[in-house]
Chain A
Amino acid sequence: MNENPLIPLFGYFALLSLFAVGGANAAIPEMHRIAVEVMHWMGDRQFADSFAIAQISPGPNVIIVTLIGYHVAGLAGAAVATVAMCGPSCVFAFLVARTWDHFKEARWRIAIQAGLVPVSIGLIGASAFVLARTADTNIYAALITAITALIGFATRINPLWLFAVGGILGLSGWL
């Protein structure tokens, strides 16, 4: 590569940042297209592994861009990709939030807010459904999901305990 890879890395992710409506998971196919098909930064296998590592690590799933950046140009690449992916959308979110709070009493603002809430909840429900279909490959995994859902809804037990149980069952090869 004769050109500095940090420049396209920054450019692509900064652009994606402002077009990634629906969050990081909705942007995964586009990231794959850029990283594997257009720029040839990595292969399919490496992309899939990056996705798995991002899932394993706690925190927002958008962290996959950090891994892609790391793969392309080490620590500098990781920093540039993360800043590019989060920077523009964060600045935009900040400006909208300020304006939004300014019009707290406006009727149009109340209508937009009230209108967006049910759409938002339906979409989160849909992503839970899609994730459940991929995660629950057998009856034991589905049971863990169902039990966690019940306990999470009805009690205030710290869900990390359920994660620990799930992790141990997974390691033992039950799932």
Chain B
Amino acid sequence: MSTSATPSRSNSINPSLTELFRAFVVVSISGFGGALPWARRMIVEQRRWMTAQEFNEAFALAQFLPGPNVVNFAVVFGSRFGGAAGAAVALAGLMGPPLIIVTILAFLYARFGDLEMLSRILTGITAAAVGLLIAVVAKMAAPLFRERRDWAPFVAMAAFVGVAIMQWPLPLVFVVLAPISIALAWIRR
């Protein structure tokens, strides 16, 4: 793949297809309670394939496409670095191991049907996973305050309050806020 010399691109080293596959395998098998924190850890902090800003943009795009967010992200990320093959490889890495694991769990559940012990372990893991998600939100939000887009933190707060506090439906919050935010970005760039 040819890399266009855009200043926003963090790194001239593009991952190979094998590296892409391996990275998403690691993300998927670590990703208890959501794969987003692990994807960011891998891509931004460890491999440095994207800057924090690039990651935010790619994830925002993935989030607003219909379908599962992290699955979309694998496709967006994979296609950027390796075209159709990259998208397929990232997707296979993300979905392959969990599919095998969940099929085994489904079999065990059909056989034994007792989730009591697993669910107690899960209670603890979920508490930690939520903490990890909060840490990632804080990291992703940090660039909003550093840039000169002074409106951005207010839009983020409005989205948060709308869904978390007011409990409005997510599509509604999105349909109202996204055009406002895009208009602000257009005017005050």
Residues in A lying within 8 Å of B, measured CB to CB? 17-24, 26, 49, 52-63, 66-67, 70-71, 75, 78, 82, 85-86, 88-90, 92-94, 96-98, 100-101, 104, 107-108, 110-132, 135-137, 141-142, 144-153, 156, 159-160, 162-163, 165-171, 173-175
Interface contacts (Cβ under 8 Å), in number, total 369
Q: How far is the CA of A20 from the CA of B65 in the complex (A)?
A: 9
Point out the residue from B34, B67, B123, B173 that lies within 8 Å of A93, measured CB to CB. Answer: B67
Question: Chain B interface secondary structure, helix, strand, loop or mixed?
Answer: helix
Question: Chain A interface secondary structure, helix, strand, loop or mixed?
Answer: helix
The answer on a CB contact under 8 Å between A135 and B127 is yes
The answer on a CB contact under 8 Å between A59 and B65 is no
The answer on a CB contact under 8 Å between A153 and B135 is yes
Q: How far is the CA of A1 from the CA of B176 in the complex (A)?
A: 43
Per-position 1/0 for B165-177, Cβ under 8 A of A: 0000011011001
Given A57-B98, A145-B127, A152-B132, A122-B157 contact (CB < 8 Å): yes
A169 to chain B minimum Cβ distance, whole angstroms, is 5
Point out the residue from B71, B124, B144, B160 that lies within 8 Å of A166, measured CB to CB. Answer: B124
List, in ascending order, chain A residues with CB within 8 A of B149's CB.
114, 118
* Count of residues in B whose CB is under 8 Å from the partner chain: 101
Given A111-B189, A128-B133, A144-B127, A60-B152 contact (CB < 8 Å): no
B76 to chain A minimum Cβ distance, whole angstroms, is 4
The answer on a CB contact under 8 Å between B127 and A141 is yes
Residues in B lying within 8 Å of A, measured CB to CB? 4, 6, 28-37, 41, 45, 56-57, 59-72, 75-76, 79-80, 84, 87, 91, 94-95, 97-99, 101-103, 105-106, 109, 115, 117-141, 144, 149, 151-153, 155-160, 162-164, 170-171, 173-174, 177-178, 181-186, 189
The answer on a CB contact under 8 Å between B67 and A89 is yes
Q: How far is the CA of A75 from the CA of B107 in the complex (A)?
A: 10
Point out the residue from B84, B105, B128 that lies within 8 Å of A144, measured CB to CB. Answer: B128
Interface centre among B117, B129, B183 (most CB of A within 10 A): B129
Q: How far is the CA of A127 from the CA of B115 in the complex (A)?
A: 25
Interface centre among A57, A141, A145 (most CB of B within 10 A): A57
